[in-house]
Chain A
Amino acid sequence: MPTRKRNNPAGSRLIFGDLWEYDPAPETADPKLKGRYDLFIDGRFVRPRSGKYFPSINPANERKLSDIALAGPADVDLAYRAAARAFPKWSAMAGRERGKYLFRIARLLQDRAREFAVAETLDGGKPIKESRDFDVPMAAAHFFYHAGWADKLEYVAPGRRVSPLGVVGQVIPWNFPLLMLAWKLAPALAMGNCVVLKPAETTSITALKLAEILQDAELPPGVVNFVTGAGETGALVMGHPGAAKVAFTGSTEVGKAIMRQLAGTDKKMTMELGCKAANIIFDDAPIDQAVEGIVNAIFFNQGHVCCAGSRLLVQESVADRVVAKLKNRIRVLRVGDPLDKNTDLGAINSRAQLATIKRLVASGVREVMYQPPCALPERGFYFPPTLFTGVTQSHRIAREEIFGPVLSILTFRTVDEAIEKANNTAYGLSAGVWTDKGSRILRMSTELRAGVVWANTFNRFDPSSPFGGYKESGFGREGGRQGLIDYVNLA
């Protein structure tokens, strides 16, 4: 816990959060972790052929949580064979029956929501209020939404007959471990595919806990298989000849490597990659609401969000006001124990990611950096909320994805300049617009080259709302009817 002084070091300004100490408010639900997690193949937990395991630690205090099986080529092959065996029956099953399994998964996940939220926070470092109120309920919502599609395949593509692809290989990132898993599994299963999925190596636990739910739901063995490990295992999952399609969420760099790896094959691909999203504040925006939105856009999940609003574009006439309010606001953000219900910023996911953030921040111009006074826990990986003002488009911190709680602030004068600056990036996953004018929202939405545009909000998601990128932020959509197309053959 960061300790807070009653005396406000900034002097005369009244800062609400400095007035008293918060008592610790830890979430205490039992995450029911196992000391060791095996691979989930063909409906059973099996030891890896190599016998090797790697530790998964809690980034909040660097203590080991569990040992995770390391999958090698033989294990990945076993998983693909199990999936291929399960496919004929699973894909031929009546859609209404297939859907029932997904409905069951959604319900069983809701039953154990708090347990999963604690596990997610322990393993990944995100604040419990986010895993409890966002990650886990949204994951359940994705299963529930897609369950209802399972018997409606003929409505997916007008005028076409659709059929499942076969076995799909999926690799997901560590920022929303359970939610990304739901985004990947639910549409694949609803369309009648079988899955081999690899969670990120720092956050495998909730996937393996979900495997318990798959067993309880009596999902036929082999329909879903989880192989755990790092990048090498991921390359095996993507490259396996048994995959009819691969889906990847992660960095643009790795996405490009996978595209090259698979260049000689005809595998279908979807890629959900990085971004450097613009969050644009016009002078007629409701400023207080916008400041909350800026905070949510960049500090949600410590900024470990592919669509994070990491470039703030503020209209010049209100820039001073917005930045002053923003600085006040981030002074009262609570950085610390992710399990504390009052924590706003939890732990950075890994030592490696913390090093990346530090390296990119060091490339920024020190003079224009602002970090509020805030004591960080001694153990664990933490980084304070950080602002850079006076940033220009050529600065590295305005071009490269930092994937941390670091906001670059730029200004603009006209609508056209805002559009030009917002689009001046190789990425195009998301953008935010804050204004009181509905017509301006629609103009901006039309001009911004990004797959998702949030108006007077940010980082909102819904299973019925297609999500995915333009340009180097990837291709394919997840969610909605449009997200199903990537999991079927059209005839």
Chain B
Amino acid sequence: MSAAAKNRIPVTKTPKVYIGGAFVRSESARTFKVSDRSGAFFANMPQCTRKDLRNAVEAAAKAGPGWARRTPYNRAQILYRLAEMLEARSGELVASLVGFGAREADAERGMATGVDRLIHYAGWADKYAALLGSVNPVAAPHFNFTVPEPMGVVGVIAPDSPPLLGLLSMIAPVVASGNTVVALASETVPYPAILLGEMLATSDLPGGVVNLLTGYRRELVPTFATHAHIRAIFASAGADERKALRLGAAASVKRVRFAEQSGAGWFADSAQGLDLVRDFVELKTTWHPIGS
């Protein structure tokens, strides 16, 4: 390193959340401090509010119809493109995970699993409909068929550990079928989600399809539960949060699913698959007349 570089003051980044395809601070102008593994100050993170969440839901709702209308092949390619972006910047992501306390081997394995998982769901995007749908042999002169359709806006509440792999594992099956997402990143290790937002922005994913919030769970979980335009919740949550989410969900008959994995469970193949896609689609059955 040259003497000039040694003496240079690094340019630090202002973390901003990715909402509606733009990088923004919280509307409240509130932040919370994040320290690295050594305890040194790292950055001020946006402390998103209920209003930020509502704004994100609005962005997700706007993006929904367009994303749902993309061809499955196109959605598959965009998810694959996202994996390409992550793979190319995996060094930066691993460094951030390690910087916040992950063991290097775990961070690397988590990164690799996350990228592979995106590809897994990229592959599902144009296949799940054939497996979840059907043509039904009704006893009537009708061509009767069932197809899966996206639910709409889905709220994702990510685990603290592993912060990035957990978030990716929950977002991917939801958007693969044409839903849009408002996600709350890990409260304890939020920075990787900021990086993820930057990769989402360069992955051809239309703005608003995935919206990432950082902040305090206790402030945001109640609004996730009750916001009527969020049609489903996918949450990594403790017992009290589960009850609160279910109670809130009852008001608008919201679908609620909890991620049952913890820790190492997120790395396993069982943390991915068609079941998770199925949990965030509605099945529509059409009776089409035959002949006349």
Contacts and interface: CB of A to CB of B under 8 A. Distances in A.
A457 interface: yes
A452 B243 contact: no
A96 interface: no
Interface in A441-488: 441-442, 445, 450-457, 460, 462, 464-468, 470-475, 477, 480-482, 485
B249 interface: yes
A473 B151 CA distance: 13
A363 to B, nearest CB: 23
Interface stretch (A127-135, A214-222, A260-268): A260-268
A358 interface: no
Contact of B138 (A451, A453, A465): A465
Contact of A256 (B137, B251, B273, B275): B251
Interface in B227-248: 231, 242-243, 246-247
A460 B136 CA distance: 13
Contact of B243 (A263, A464, A473): A263
B201 interface: no
Contacts of B142: 457, 460
Contact of B250 (A260, A452, A453, A462): A260
Nearest to B278: A485
A159 interface: yes
A336 B242 CA distance: 51
B140 A462 contact: yes
Contacts of A490: 275
A438 B143 CA distance: 12
B24 interface: no
B289 A456 contact: yes
B131 A158 contact: yes
Contacts of A480: 134, 136, 146, 285
A455 B131 CA distance: 24
A485 B131 CA distance: 13
A160 interface: yes
Interface in B118-166: 131-132, 134, 136-140, 142, 144, 146, 151
Given A158-B274, A426-B252, A457-B142, A468 B289 contact: no
Interface string A143-186: 00000000000000111100000000000000000000000000
B136 A273 contact: no
B131 A471 contact: no
B287 A460 contact: yes
B202 interface: no
Contacts of B140: 460, 462
Contacts of A454: 287
B275 A452 contact: no
Contacts of A477: 283
A467 to B, nearest CB: 7
A450 B284 contact: yes
A313 B285 CA distance: 21
A425 to B, nearest CB: 13
B282 interface: yes
B284 A452 contact: yes
A450 B250 CA distance: 19
A251 to B, nearest CB: 12
B13 interface: no
Contacts of B287: 452-455, 457, 460, 465
Contacts of A256: 250-251, 253
B284 A472 contact: no
B54 interface: no
Nearest to A457: B287
Band of interface residues on B? 35 or more
Contact of A260 (B131, B247, B288): B247
A464 B285 contact: no
A467 B285 contact: yes
A473 to B, nearest CB: 8
A280 interface: no
Interface string B207-244: 00000000000000000000000010000000000110
B284 A445 contact: yes
A456 B249 CA distance: 35
A48 interface: no
A441 B144 contact: no
B255 interface: yes
A467 B278 CA distance: 16
B289 A451 contact: no
B228 to A, nearest CB: 8
A451 B286 contact: no
B139 A466 contact: no
Contacts of B275: 157, 160, 490
A455 B253 contact: no
Contacts of A262: 246
Given A273-B253, A455-B287, A465-B144, A470 B138 contact: no
A263 B253 contact: no
A271 interface: yes
A260 B253 CA distance: 10
Contacts of A485: 278
A487 to B, nearest CB: 15
Interface in B258-292: 273-275, 278, 282-289
Contacts of B139: 141, 462
B285 A451 contact: yes
Nearest to A491: B270
A452 B247 contact: no
Contacts of A466: 134, 136, 146, 283, 285
Given A466-B283, A482-B134, A485-B278, A457 B289 contact: yes
A466 B285 CA distance: 7
A231 to B, nearest CB: 17
Contacts of B138: 460, 462, 464-465
A110 interface: no
A440 to B, nearest CB: 11
B247 A451 contact: no
Contacts of A451: 282-285
Given A157-B275, A259-B250, 14 more contacts: A159-B274, A257-B250, A266-B242, A442-B288, A453-B284, A453-B285, A455-B287, A456-B289, A466-B134, A466-B146, A471-B252, A473-B253, A475-B255, A480-B136
7 A-B pairs closest in CB distance: A259-B250, A263-B246, A462-B138, A472-B253, A445-B286, A263-B247, A464-B136
